[in-house]
Structure formats: C-alpha cells, structure tokens
Structure 1
Amino acid sequence: MKKINSLLLLIFCFTMALGQKKKQKPLPPPKVEAIKPSVVEETNKVSDIQYVSPPALPNDHINIQKPNVIENLNLDSNAKKCACDNVLIILGADKFGEGFTAKDFGLRGNVKNIKNVEKRDTLVGYSETLSKGNTVEMTFSKQGFLETYAREMIDKLSQSQGFKSFSQAFYNDKNQIISTEIYLGDTKNLMAKNLFLYNEMGFYQMQRTDKDNKPSQTRITFECFKTDKTFSVIKKDVDKARNHETNEMYVFNNQNQLVKKQEIFNNGGNTTKNKTSAYVYNNLGQLTEENFLNKDGTIRNYLHHQYNPQGDVLKSIYKDGDYILYDYKYDNQNNWIWKRKTSYEKSRYGNEMEIDERLTWDRTILYY
C-alpha cells in the first residue's frame, strides 16, 4: 500500500513538473494583419474651397487713401473775358525788377547797354555762397525794348566759367514780341525757341520748340479777364510728358500794378502746392508790402520795403524781424552803378542779429 501511495505521489510530482515546463515555453509571435490605408478624398475642387475674409480692424487702424483733389484759382466771379493786349506786362508779371523794357528794370534815360557783375563776400555767410563774379549783360533798342540777355554763372568751387546762356528777342511793327531764341555757350549753339502767338483776342499762347524746330511737350496758354477795377491773367502751363500742370493768376489794378498772384501746381492729378501773394503800393507807385497769404487769406509772412530819395529799396523787413539793407552809388542819370545787399538774421544761439549774406554788384551803363 505504501508502495502504491509512493508511486501515485511520484506520478503527481512528475506531472506538476511537466506542467511548469510547459508554462515556461515562449508564446508564438502574434499574427501580423495587413492594414489597409485610409482613403483621402480630393479637396482641390473649386466647389470644395471656402474663402474666409479677414476680421475687420478697428477704424483707427484702417488706412483710407484720400481722393485726389484739384484746387482752382480764385478768379473774381464778376470778371468777364477780354483781349490779352498788354503782352509785355503779362510776360513780366512773375518777376519784379525784370521784364522786357528798360523801365521794367527801373532804368532812367535812353539806355543802350547794361552789364551787372555780382560778387559775393566770402568772409560772411555760409559755404554755399562762395561763388563770385556772375554776370548779366543786356541790350535795349532805342524804343527801350529788351533785345539781348546774356548770363554767365561762375562755378562755385573752381571759380571758373560754369553755365553761360544767351537769349535774343524779336518784335513786330506793333512792338509785340513774336519770338525769342535761346543759345547755350554762344550764338552757334541754338537750344530752343519761344514763339508768341496772337489771335483776335490778342496774345493767347507761348509755344516752345527745340533746336530742330520740334515742338516740346510743354504748352503755355493765356486768358484775360476784366472787372471795373482789375485786369486778370490766367496762365496755364501743361507738361504732358511729366503729367505736371501749373496754373497762375495775375491780378493788376488800373495803374497796371500787380496786386495779387496765385500759383497752383498739380502733379499726377493732385494739387501739391497752392500759394497766394498780395502786393501794396504807395502813392509814388513803389511796392511797399509783399504779403504771403494762407488759404483763408490771412498773412503767413510778409516783406515790407522802404525807399531812398532815388526810388530804390533801402531796407526790407520780414515778419520775424530779419531784414536786408541796401547801399548804392549813382551815375549822373540817377541810375545806380554800384549796389550792396546785406542780409541780417537772428543768431541761432541768441537774439543778436548777424550777417547771413553780403552781395555787391558793379554795373556799367551805356546810353544812346
């Protein structure tokens, strides 16, 4: 019996040992199943794309471009169109002291030839004023009309000859200017011509051509208007090549004195400059005030003039207190033959006045 029990115990232990060995065997590797790729639907169709507008910004961050504005000349609404018959006054309106007659330059007597030599005082002022010796020479007819105008500009650095030009004016039997010729260097090098055209309303257009007689892209036209007290000229200068346009208005009183000037500059369909000046004269016909106006008509700046007994400007004063002094020497016709202009301005370091620039002119005059 003990033997049977021992045998049964041995069989049980052996069976348990075999079971433990079976548990220690590694498991077979898992089966790998093929994974089907997911199908991606096409989304490049127009109907499948949605456009979403960006969120709106606050008003103060939106850059709204202002529309172009063309400003107009302030012509008197009562003015009526008339003939442009006083051509020389019209052409000389934009520059005081210069024009097309000897009287425009304030000359007395029957002047034949005049030569001005400008010299700059290199001991005062700034470095850009170091040029000296610039000359202007003019000749006049016996009737007092400008015939030739020559200018020579001296180079600022080398003191040698720089720019030199020569212009000649031609008139008809009515003393109307009909053309000018402009030369560079000498009379062999024609650069341009100005033709002055007339119709039943008088002077109406200035046409420029190059040396080959080809018209330029610039066209200058004139229209004139009258009221009981004023004579106004509208000058329109159009440059098609650069898309520029300048409109100017000159207003004269019954004494043919320029009392107002307005200039408007348009660039690319937009007004970039609009400035107006007004002028006042004394009972001797001398210009005493040049007033530079704001758009509302108030004075932005001014230049007031005082005169000596000969009728030449003695002192000019600006609104801010800067001023210019003039000194003269005269010939026996009471035309100046030497002039000095000294400009004073407030020092940048204080209220003391200091010389900004000093110029002198020597003038030689020949008479008929």
Structure 2
Amino acid sequence: MSESALSSAPRVAVLLLAGGRGTRAGYETPKQLAMLGGKPVLRWSLDAFAAHDAISRGVLVASDDVVAAVGELPEGWSYAAAGAERQQSVGNALACLSDWDDDAMILVHDAARPGVTAAVVDRLLAVLQNGAKAAIPTLPVPDTLVEQAGNEAGEVVDRAALARVQTPQAFHLGTLRRAHAAAAGATATDDAQLVRRLGLPVQAVAGDARLHKLTYAEDMDILSGLLGTKAMTRTAVGMGYDVHRLVADKPLWIGGIEIAHSHGLEGHSDADVALHALTDAILGALADGDIGDHFPPSDPQWRGAASHRFLAFAADRVAARGGRIEHVDLTIIAEAPKIGPHRPAIRERIAEILAIPVAKVSVKATTTERLGFTGRREGIAAQAVATLQLPEI
C-alpha cells in the first residue's frame, strides 16, 4: 500500500487473541508462550503488527499468566481480559476501542498463527478501502476430501468450491460491532461467520502458508520449517550431581515435595538434592556455572531457602537465552525412604517449576545395594541430565 493511500486511510487496530490453552498441542502452559525460533509464538505476531506502518493501535486479549509472561507491549498496545469463549474475548477487545469511529479498520488475529506477513495485511486493508465490509485470507484445499464415518472413508467431496480460512480477518469497526451485537449468544468459529449472518458479503484475498495454525504438537515442526527457524537452534546437554547428609529431626525435601521420614537432608538451603542436581544440569547445558556460583552457601539470604527457587532461576536463564527445555532426566540414589511411591508427585512438581509438560520429565530411583554412604543411609545423592534447545551462537 502506498504512503499516500496509507495517509488517507481510516485508523487501523489489531485485536490479537491469545486466550487459548494449547491442550491439543500437549502444552501444560499456554501454547502461545511456546518458544519458536528463539522467541515465544505470541511475540511473532506482536512484532509483525508493531512493524506495520498502517497499524496505530493494538489490543492483546490474554489471560493473566500470559500477560505476566509477555511483559511490556509495543507502543500503542493495551491488554484486555480473555473470555471463556472467542466471542467474549473479541467483545472485551472491542470495548477498548469505544472511542474509535465505525469507519476504522480492524484486524482480528489468532496468536497461534505466528507467520503474519505485511503482504497479507496489505491485501486485507486494500479491499476494505475499496468498499468491502469484511475480508479474510484463504488458501485452496490441495488434498482430496472425503466424507468419513468412523474409520471408513466415504464419498469424495468436491474441493473446487472449498477454501481454508486463516487470520488475520479484516472488518470495518462498525460492521464488527453490529455482528457481535446481533450474535446474541450464538457461537461461531470466527468473526467472518458473524458478519455473514448479517447478510453481508465477506471478500476473500490470497492467504499465506506461513499462517499455519499451532494446534497439535507436530505443528511446531511445520511452523519451524515454514518460518525458517530450524537452522537457528542447537541442542545442548548438561549433567548435574549433588549429595547431602541425612540428619535427624529435619524435614526431608526431595524433588520439590516434602516426604515423611525420620531424617532430613542437611544443607544451607532446604538441601533438596534432586532439585540441586537438576539446577546444575540446566546451568551446565547453558555453560553458566553451577548452583554455588549463583547461590553461594556463604550468603545468609539463602539459608533455609526453598530449592524450587534455584530451579526456577535456571529455567528463567534458559528463557532469557531464547531457548527451551526439551527434557530432564533425574535419578535419585537412596536406600530409604522409598522414592517409587512419590515419583508421580515429584514429576508433576518439577514440570510445574520448569513450566514444561510432565511427559518431558523423567524421574528414576535406585539404591547402591547397601554399599557406600547412601547404602549406609548416611546421605542421599542425585544425578540429572537436561537437554535444551538454544539459539545458534
């Protein structure tokens, strides 16, 4: 779009919907915070819209945990609360634009589609300026389509008249307001459907394969290929080991949970040997020293400190490097107490601290057949391995 066209165009705002949870993708944290090419999925859309000259306002619609993780927004952006359903989220965002006139142009985009391009945005805005009330990006359907009941393929469906619908979708603000006001609780999978229920046409423009949606776990690999991020990462592996003496009359913390036992572990902090080993493994993969460098036992502020703080610190160091934790493997070496009954709780607690799926956390336990200090029940040891994906140096 030319500078003269942009200067005479109505104002443009983006409603960026980031309220999804990512359950189908297997993420324990919101999928829009998953790392892609060194930055969260959500940040790809934010950066693309912030860089577009025509866009002067943005509203990020998100839950509190996403808001906390994103931090400072680009200039001209604000937050709105995510609703239980998509239409409620859009409605909350529209309320933030109550001071805008109906002729403004609005882009509604799903944050799970990180591959926003200026070309698609320009095509959408151009058709609105030329008189369309609404516009959507679409792609042709390349595959043969069949009706299906259970596992049985049925009749072939003519794909010539079908298209795949993407976002961002573009509307005049007045049109979008009318569509949501008329919806009266009726559900729709996107805003274009609500506009069509008003009897208004929705114009299609050429979409872009890079606007692929993150829905399932395998979509992250697809997006990495489409957005050219695969070559930007490397695998890093770190190992950690720790041991602490068992003493009477102390609580026993292992793997972030308290285990009932006659003895606890002695140390400057809560002496959680498992979390200490994991922390060192992650710091090792980062080539970032060890737990003693960051939390020296000579510093009184760490006396009795909960070790989950150390592990969360290590995870934050990974995120600060633009990396992600792919897998952690922990082995606890103890004659007593028996770790087996506590393994599920330990896995869940570690996954919670690291903000990764439980499936990426392995916890094992073994003994030394009564040999050595662990065999004599004098102490407990732990060793850990952490596998990270980090940006190329």
Under a length normalisation based on structure 2, what TM-score does the superposition of the two structures give? 0.20
Task: Looking at secondary structure, tell me which structure has more helix per residue.
Answer: 2
Task: Looking at secondary structure, tell me which structure has more strand per residue.
Answer: 1
- Higher RCO (C-alpha under 8 Å, 6+ residues apart): 2
